[in-house]
Amino acid sequence: MSLKLNHDAIFIADSHFSCKSKGLLDYLTSLFASPPSQLILMGDIAQILLGNLKNSIQSNIELLANLDRLEKQGTQIVWLEGNHDLFLHKIKRSNLLKQTLFIPRKQQPIKAIYHDKIYLLAHGDLFLSKRYELYIQTLTRIPKLLEIIDYLSAGEIYSELEKKLECKMIKNYPLGFFDFASQRIALYQKYFQYPFHGIIEGHFHIGKKLTLYGIQYISLPAFYFKQEGNKIATFLK
């Protein structure tokens, strides 16, 4: 698929919304007065959100309600699954975000067009290690099992998992950015043979960009730390 990016698009990555970190609610509320035409959510928007579990929907209902209001005001929402927010298309069963375009991990990166240039968009947890890939693919293949476990435990297992993740420290990644960006560009080039002009991803909580070999690599900052979205006009010039 190919996504057309609008001139006023706002990108948000890695907000890790939870009962202990609700800054995203205030930011979304600030958009109500003049909603953007497009909001791109780059994954890990919640600290844990499993769209197929009612308990998870309820824990994140304030976040989902604010996003739903923006959608009803005319904002196109595109939500790429991360490793903390999965099975997102199931959210529609709760009559929320009925028009949102959810992009599962297996369909990432997606091709996006901006000013006649091609950018690859992904949460960012691609090409990491065989061990990580086995873990995340196994997790994404068992939605029904998770629903059964949640039902049989009356939500207690999910609640315990939620408490543990809420206590998990969110970190910045202290990386040598030039070497890191070079490696990420090389990995994308290896797996995607067609030409592209840039890569936009989250996951790593870096907030830097670099142009190398004619390709722009953008590692979005974590909203969790920055507490504001990223307007496309400010980072794609």
Give 14-43 pLDDT, tens digit per residue.
Answer: 999 987 888 999 999 999 999 999 999 999
Give 216-237 pLDDT, tens digit per residue.
Answer: 999 999 999 999 999 999 988 7
pLDDT of residue 174: 62
Q: For the whole model, what pTM was predicted?
A: 0.92
Where does the pLDDT of residue 3 fall: very low under 50, low under 70, confident under 90, or very high at 90 and above?
A: very high
pLDDT of residue 111: 96
CATH code linked to domain 2-235: 3.60.21.10
CB 57 within 8 A of CB 87: no
Which are the contacts of 109, defined by CB distance < 8 A and separation ≥ 6?
A: 120, 121, 122, 126, 188, 192, 199, 201
pLDDT of residue 6: 97
Give 40-60 pLDDT, tens digit per residue.
Answer: 999 999 998 998 888 899 999
Give 71-126 pLDDT, tens digit per residue.
Answer: 999 999 999 999 989 999 999 999 999 999 999 999 999 999 999 999 999 999 99
Task: Please provide the DSSP assignment of 67-92 as one string.
Answer: HHHHHHTT-EEEEE--SSEE-GGGGG
Where does the pLDDT of residue 201 fall: very low under 50, low under 70, confident under 90, or very high at 90 and above?
A: very high
* DSSP letter (8 states) at residue 45: -
Domain ranges of the chain: 2-235
Dist CA 96 CA 143 (whole Å): 19
Give 118-143 pLDDT, tens digit per residue.
Answer: 999 999 999 988 898 888 888 787 77
